[in-house]
Each structure stands twice: as structure tokens, then as C-alpha cells.
Chain A
Amino acid sequence: MTTQTIAYREALRQGLHAALARDERVFLMGEDVGRYGGTYAVSHGLLEAFGEARIRDTPLSESAFTGAGIGAALNGLRPIVEIMTVNFSLLALDQIMNNAATLRHMSGGQLNVPLVIRMTTGGGRQLAAQHSHSLEGWYAHIPGLRIVAPATHEDARGMLLAALEDPDPVLIFEHALLLNVEGTVKGEPHPMELDHAVIRREGGQVSLITYGGMLHKTLAAADQLAAAGIDAEVLDLRTLRPLDDAAIMASVAKTHRVVVVDEGWRSGSLSAEIITRINEQAFFELDAPPVRVCTQEVPIPYPRHLEDAAIPQIEDIVAAVHRLMGGPGSGATS
């Protein structure tokens, strides 16, 4: 199998191309996905390859085209709706929450919504407080939705394919800072299952639990910690709803210490949910209170120094681990 080194953006594009090529029910719809080539150039070339019927530029009507995706999914197609950025998805929240998430249960199981919604998430590009948030944790609150956050290149192309095979609505969160990051993929795009978290780095002393854009910062932090003699394990959640509790608890049972790294705000967050589950299910495995590294509770500001201060950085993760390992009652043995 040939190995390619490609940008995350290209991995997303390969996934879309493969999805459109293998199933004629699949079509892509969103703002500037066609002639413009995608706001982030993810869908560049797809209009030429698949035509205007299947690569559909929409008006700036997030609620209507997201709802239209739900309707088309209910009526037998496999739409991929692209929402430019997570903050804009709030204009379509009614459709996502009140229709996509509820229709199966509310209809007594008669309806299903095999819809995929992709959107860009996260900060770090000096785009200020209406383009930079990480709201995937909010969506992970909603029963009926499946929430995924591909962090690797193989997941970027393969989780889309798996999402299209899922009979329920799947929201895919793609971190904007990953778009230019290069990585390797093997062979042709193939579905990457949506059920399990994956250990991206084996370690024995502390579990760093994260996902999406924060995975890369967390892996870099783990490298720095290794240099300082701390052996960290990094768990990539991949799917935020439903959470892979078994993988989380297995890692905690192995390392007995945990740091959750989440670009969402702290209060009422996904990190809160993860730590609560650890307390519920693995409390007696813990040698120290769980710790989390989250975004500061402010709207993300424009200036670089303030944005950097708001969003978790590698040094914040490293510092949190050092505090955890060196703190009272840590019980460190190695």
C-alpha cells in the first residue's frame, strides 16, 4: 500500500471525493462549496468532477440548507451539508436540534435522518469572537446526534465515509488549525469506524485525554514531558458522542492520573462530563484529583497574545501535568 504525505485539507477532500464517487445518493451542499472551491479550499475541484447537481452552492441560509439536508436525508439521499464555521451553525441549531436529533424518536422509530454535517471549529487564527469557538461540546449534549472530531489524516477522510454509512445524523468537527498540517495516509480512503477512542501515544504515568485540534498540542506536550522523565499516554477520543467510556477508564486504570485537554470553555463542558464519568466509574483508580486544561471563559479576542492566552497551549498542558505529578498526594512511584 502506498503511503502519501498530504495536508489535512487534502485528506478531507479525498474523503469527499471518495464518498461522491462510491454512492450516487451522496451530494455536497453549502456556502461556496462549488465555484469558490470551498471557503478553506476543501472542496476544490469537486464541482468539475461531479457537476452542479451534486456540488451545490447555497445562499447564506444556514437554517434552510441544513433543514433541506435533513429533508433530503429523510427522503432517501445521503447529503453532506457543509457549514462554514461552528459559530454559523447556531443559525441552523433549530434544524439540528429540533428536527435532525428528534425525528427518529418522536416518530416512534418511523423516520431516520442519515445526514452528515461538516463544520470548521476552533480558534488560533485571529478571527475574533464570532469565528473561533469550539462548540462541539454543546452538540455532544444532544441525544440523537453523533459527534465526531477527526484529528488525524486517516480519520479526516475515513470518518466521513463511516459517517455516511451511519443511519443517524453525524456532525463532523474539523479544526481549522489542522487544515495545513501534513500527515500520512495509506492507500485509498476507507471508512474509519466511529465507535472507539484510540491511544495515539502509549504511556504509563498520566493519561492525557483530548480530541481534534488539541491532539497535536497534547502530543507535543507529551514529547516535552518525556524529555522531563514523565511518561504520558495520549488518548484521542475521536467520537465525542457517544463517549468511549471503556477506553477512558482503561487508560485511567493504567496510569491513575488524568488530564483532560479541551478547547471548549470549562463550565458545563465536555471536559466536565469526562471527569464526572471518571469519578463515577474509576474513582478508586485515581491517585490524584483529575485536572483539566480548557479555554479561558471569554469570547475569543482578536490580538495574538490574548488569543494565545485564551486557548490551551502546549506549555499549559505541560504545566498542568507537572502540577499534577508533583502535587501533594500524587503517589508517584516512577
Chain B
Amino acid sequence: MPSPDTRPASGAAALDDPGQARALLWQMLRIRRFEEKCAELYSAGKIRGFLHLYIGEEAIAAGAMPALAERDHVLATYREHGHALARGVPAGAIMAEMYGKQEGCSRGRGGSMHLFDAGRHFIGGSAIVGGALPLAVGYALADRLAGRDSVTACFFGDGAVAEGEFHESLNLAALWQLPVLFLCENNRYAMGTALERHQSQVDLAAKAAAYRLPSESVDGMDVVAVARTTEAAVDRVRAGQGPMFLEYRTYRFRAHSMFDPELYRDKAEVEQWKKRCPIETFARDAVASGLLAATARDELEREVAEEVAAAVAFAEAGTWEPVEHLCHDVYAREVRP
């Protein structure tokens, strides 16, 4: 575990690569604008089911995902639009999935909570809290047994820490020293229950440390800190030093889902966190430090707006899977039940 004096520097001021600064801001902006459009389309009835927005937490997916290689595996939660976008799943395929169209990345079968892209090793999209952690252990076990050097990154929230599967999976991964990166997005609420109201030990890294996983907590509102910490962790896991646990301390600005009246938290608390918006703070600092031109933000906004508009057009133009295909893919070959 890095000692304090080797801890990666954070904030835009710590960057010296304008290309990376631009890429990080672009990624956070496209996640933000994509999801704002999703909320609008939900109200318009184009998207149905559950829709969980990542707004406020974009620095994590945007910062962490570039640390992973194409051959690595990514497993995520039901709040995974940002992870899918950052992993490179085309925005159009994600939006079409939200619409339930067969051009969607899961052929429209999964919707918002179940985005998959096997070609990009993006393995969901899981709506059972904690349910992906054992799968991540298995992905890593297979890589280990086959002699591959891939890393498996598994994102989950603070709510998952209360599930038995969290504890079973960390123990198993540590016991077998498997190349798993456990990435906890601690947004302080398990749906509507605050961390202090669902955990006896609120220091989540301490829980992982109890299973002898090297563990670290990082400011999840700081995209540079996320990127640097995650890069170091990926290197360490890929080098065969066993699994690792990172806690990203973050906050969700929007409601849990589209049906949440937010009775469980004060508006003042939300406003306080919004002052730490990962996009606004990074953009401001990057311009102030001369890393990005003052015009960069507007250029990126235009680029992102075009991409989102194209994604919506792609989804609108998509087609419904024929009802005759309803029972396809239950089994590899057609089986009469």
C-alpha cells in the first residue's frame, strides 16, 4: 500500500498532460449529459423500468476505466451507464438498450440495469446487490488457471458491503491470491439508508483489510486521484500480488431511482456535495492551471451533445425484437421446456 508520501498527487493541478485532461473531462461530460438525456427520456416515457443515475459519481468510471486493458474484465452494478460508456460501449447501443430495442447492447433484453458487451469484456449490469462479486472471483480464477495476466475489476456500492457475498468473495480472492480489483463506490447510501445506519464499521477499507487485502480509500470526486490510485492498483494486481480493494468516496446527486422522493437526506447535504462536483472542480482547475484552454469546455460540450443526439437518434430508429424471438437464447439450442 503506498505510504502517504508516495500517494498519487490529486486534482487537475497534478496533471501535466493536456490530452489526458481533455479525455477525462470529455468522459465525465459525456456520462453526465448522456444521463441527463436519459432522465428526460424517462419522463417522456421512452425509457421505462428502473433508471439509476450516476450523476455526481462520474469521476470514478472516467478515472478508473482507462487504467484497465482491453483484455481485462469489468463487472458493474445496476448504476452502470457510466461504466459502460467509459469502457467503450457505444452510446447508441446503450441508449437503444434503454429503449428496449434489439440494436441495444443486450438486444434490448436487459434495459438500464443490464448492459452487456462481451466483446469489450463488459460483463454487466447486475441488479442483485453483491451478486457480481463471486463472478469476478471466477473470472480471475479462470485467468489464473489459464496462465493469462488479465485483471478483473468489479464495481459495487457501499450497500454491497453488507451482503454475505462481499465477505465470501473477498475471503476467497485473498485466500487464492486472485487478480481481482474490488472497487467500492461509497456514495454513502444503500438506496435510502445512510452508511452509519447500515454498517457497524463505516471504514470500509478496514473491512477489506480484515481479509488481508491491501486496501485504500480515495476521494471519488477527484478524477485525477481516482485515475492515479486505480492505475497503481491495476499494476499491482496484474503483477500477481493478489487482489486489492479500493474505496472511492463519492456522492450521488440525484435520487436513487426515478421513484425516490429522497425523504432520507437533507437538501442542504446534497447542495454541499454538489459544490464538489467532479466536473466543475476539474474543469475550473484545469483551466486555471493552463492545462486546458478556456474554450475547451464549450468544445467538449458541443462534441458530447452531438454524440448524445446521435445516440438518441440511433435508439429512435431501432427496431423491436420480433415476439417470435421471445424464447431465443434461454438455452444455446432451442429447447422445448
Q: How far is the CB of B229 from chain A (nearest CB, A)?
A: 25
Nearest B-chain residue to A92, judged by Cβ: B134
A92-105 CB mask vs B (1 if < 8 Å, else 0) is 00110011000111
B138-A67 in contact (CB<8A): yes
Of B138, B141, B332, which contacts A104 at CB under 8 A? B332
Is A69 in contact with chain B by the CB < 8 A criterion?
A: yes
What are the interface flags for B129-152 relative to A under an 8 Å C-beta threshold, 1 for contact and 0 otherwise?
Answer: 001011111111111011000001
A65 touches B (CB below 8 Å):
yes
Binary flags per residue of A67-83, CB closer than 8 Å to B gives 1, else 0: 11111111111010000
A63 lies within 8 A of B164 (CB):
yes
State whether A108 touches B116 (Cβ < 8 A).
Answer: yes
A107 touches B332 (CB 8 A): no
B129 smallest CB distance to A (angstroms): 10
Instruction: Answer whether A108 and B128 are a contact pair too, CB < 8 Å, given A66-B134, A168-B331.
Output: no
Binds B, one of A35-43, A53-61, A123-131, A254-262: A53-61
What is the bound-complex CA distance between A153 and B1, given in angstroms?
54
The answer to whether B123 has its CB under 8 Å from any CB of chain A is: yes
Q: Given A107-B109, A111-B116: A94 and B145 within 8 A (CB)?
A: no
Q: Is the CB of B73 within 8 A of A109?
A: no
**B290-337 residues at the A interface, CB under 8 angstroms:** 328-332, 335-337
Interface residues as binary, B111-127 with A (CB distance below 8 Å gives 1, 0 otherwise): 00010111100011010
For A65, the chain B residues whose CB sits under 8 A away are 134, 172
The answer to whether the Cβ of B169 comes within 8 Å of any Cβ in the partner chain is: yes
B171 at the interface (CB under 8 A from A): yes
Q: State in angstroms the CA–CA spacing of A168 and B335 once bound together.
A: 11
Q: How far is the CA of A115 from the CA of B103 in the complex (A)?
A: 29
Chain A residues bordering chain B, tally (CB within 8 A): 45
The yes or no answer to A173 lying at the interface (CB within 8 A) is no
B329 touches A108 (CB 8 A): yes
User: In the complex, what distance in Å separates the CA atom of A149 from the CA atom of B224?
Assistant: 55
Residue A210 at the B interface, CB < 8 A? no
Q: Which residues of the partner chain A approach B137 to less than 8 Å between Cβ atoms? A: 64, 67-68, 71
One digit per residue, 1 when the CB lies within 8 angstroms of any chain B CB and 0 when it does not, for chain A 134-164 equals 0000000001101000000000000000000
Contacts of A110 in B (CB 8 A): 106, 116-119
The answer for the CA separation of A136 and B134 in the assembled complex, in Å, is: 23
A143 to B126, CA, bound (A): 18
A167 at the interface (CB under 8 A from B): yes
Please indicate the chain A residues that have their CB under 8 angstroms from the CB of B164 in the complex.
63
Q: Are A105 and B131 in contact (CB under 8 A)?
A: no
Q: How far is the CA of A59 from the CA of B56 in the complex (A)?
A: 38
A38 to chain B, nearest CB (A): 20
CA of A50 to CA of B131, assembled, Å:
31
Whether A107 and B141, one on each chain, are in contact in the complex, defined by CB atoms closer than 8 angstroms, is no
Contact residues in A for B278 (Cβ distance below 8 Å): none
Q: Interface code A189-228, partner B: CB below 8 Å = 1, 0 otherwise?
A: 0000000000000000000000000000000000000000
Q: How far is the CA of A147 from the CA of B209 in the complex (A)?
A: 40
B135 contacts A107, C-beta separation under 8 Å: no
Question: With contacts A64-B169, A106-B109 known, is A71 near B138, CB below 8 A?
Answer: yes
> Which chain B residue lies CB-closest to A244?
B336
A26 vs chain B, min Cβ distance (A)? 11
A111 touches B330 (CB 8 A): no
Residue on B with the closest CB to A71? B138
Complex Cα distance A76/B142, Å? 7
> B131 to chain A: which residues have CB within 8 Å?
67, 94-95, 98-99
B113 to A, closest residue via Cβ: A106
B62 shortest CB reach to chain A, Å: 24
Q: Are B171 and A59 in contact, CB atoms less than 8 angstroms apart?
A: yes
Query: How far apart are the CA atoms of A58 and B137 in the complex, in Å?
Result: 13
Chain A minimum-CB-distance residue to B135: A71
B14 within 8 A of partner (CB): no
What 7 new A-B contacts, CB under 8 Å, besides A70-B134, A75-B73, A167-B332?
Answer: A27-B145, A63-B134, A71-B141, A95-B131, A95-B134, A106-B110, A242-B336
Closest A-B pairs by Cβ, 8 of them: A71-B138, A67-B134, A108-B107, A64-B168, A75-B142, A68-B138, A61-B168, A71-B135
Taking beta carbons and an 8 Å cutoff, which residues of B are in contact with A? 73, 102, 104-110, 114, 116-119, 123-124, 126, 128, 131, 133-143, 145-146, 152, 164-165, 168-169, 171-172, 175, 328-332, 335-337
What are 16 pairs between A and B in contact, CB < 8 Å?
A: A64-B168, A64-B169, A66-B134, A70-B138, A71-B138, A71-B142, A71-B152, A73-B138, A75-B142, A77-B141, A94-B165, A104-B329, A105-B328, A107-B109, A107-B118, A109-B107
Q: Identify the A interface with B (CB < 8 A).
A: 27, 53-54, 58-59, 61, 63-77, 79, 94-95, 98-99, 103-112, 143-144, 146, 166-168, 241-242, 245
